[in-house]
Chains A and B, each alone.
Chain A
């Protein structure tokens, strides 16, 4: 069970993540993208998935039972190689539907004070 007191709380990673050209290229190759000057639109998930799991590991959320329900990206500017991000994750909402817990996690990638990409993941924790 997710700890309900954590809804609305934001957790920010202490360590930064640096985007490399190799990481962009690897992601781009999988989808057949040849332009690697900027990251593909969904590249942010390769950072926010791991970061949010780590930031929310003590939340009571059972990641082994999680199914990805939906996903949203807001891209203020494209991610480029050399970006150094801190990730902030917030449990925006949690509700129970037919015994399944439905949790929305927002993760923001900030470069210094600039918000670059926001991601929202709705996770269904199966009963």
Chain B
């Protein structure tokens, strides 16, 4: 029990003067109200029995006076502000930074998870705040969220604190630090007189409640912030083995190499042995027992999936689980998906150019795409008009020809440009030496083009957003540009040119090189969506997932592992983006609206954290932020719980009792 004196000397003197005053008033009250009665005979007899003539006797019987004195004493006690042993917080402004990343779900604390423990500690801190203090609450994972801006209301803070839920995201404190320093370190602006401070900074205590599982922050200055790091969790490294990678190797060419590969990390200080189980569509498919992972190391495990894909007719989810219990449950499960292959629909309009015919006859392209060859006359066919308008093709290659209107799909133009003013081709130039090409572009991936010989070419100018893929001395000769949600690849040089005499003249030696079929394959995959088994890229919780249903689909519904269903439509950039990827697991994408009777199959995608930093749940003893090293505080000081409100309530109660007794004259 401790006391916080709320009154000064004069205040106490005033309070101390009240009880004697009450007694005095009671003595003064001896000037009693005269009342005439028939006879004092019986009263005197009654008084004699009671012996009330003695002064003290009279006072002793005066319950009202004692109640009044008691009230004053209780109020005096309330002014002492008694409370539980506790230390009020120093400072006036506090910022509570709560880590709600995946690692905060570890259970190496006394009760519940680390986040629960952090919330408990913050609640104590909020209770320790003085009434005039204000605080703000920021929760962060890989992004920061201001849960409550500066307020003096403790109840509001506590209420908002309770609402913080754990996430399955990774950790990055930078954004939270920036949000926290907003008021403490206001920005400066450059004026004619040099740097001007926009506002004076207000000092604040920054309390970070985290396990320290985030990268060091280099470019941050605390300024007016006084950081405190409250490490949540045990400094004895808890036992945790997590899956830090899980993927399906889906090389269609080497079917015997199809396998599920997982990377396991042992984040503890002792060697660990775990059991793994692999489920396909929630049915046990394979298991491995007693896999030994050395302390602090990572090791890989693979499960052969031979025979699984051949019969695969629909999208399949695959789940890998570590059966051994440890401190963090989230990284013990990993998900992967396999979507069945879908052939790209390709139309090649060519005046009879054999190079394409040869190039697309490779096994892999044949597996990936259904290819239709037509001559230029087909462009006038109504069937072409219908199919191209409905988007039944994924890619149309126009070899030395030009449609009247652009189809609703990706296109590739060879030796010509799309109709309209967006694309412009310059005059024919000769020769056309290759200066540079964009090696990093997926279409030119792993191609060697420097030795390419091209006779005639034309300079390409495309619409805004056009990327030049191949540059000659006079400019770009191959470029890819956007058109709504589609992409147009334009090559200004043909493979062969018809001479004036009608002979076919070879324009480039590219078709004879190995890079040509590879290029065509890249085009089929990249522009045509020519698919392999779509194991899909992994999506991290909280990350935007880009869904790739067939082009005809305009709207899909996504079912999250939490069974929550969301409808997503194509945006104006023709993308279908899904943002509610908070929990890890398998998400089901169902096309909702069909433009054609061919209904595309449902697709799956997996969300996994796969963050080694979250798996390493050891608590850091010090944080490095900017140039400061902040060592962890682990002592939790109890909150001052003040009782003065209760005591004032008690005083009020006594006063009410006194009033009741006075009015009812019950047992004085």
Task: Please indicate whether A and B come from the same complex rather than being unrelated chains.
Answer: no
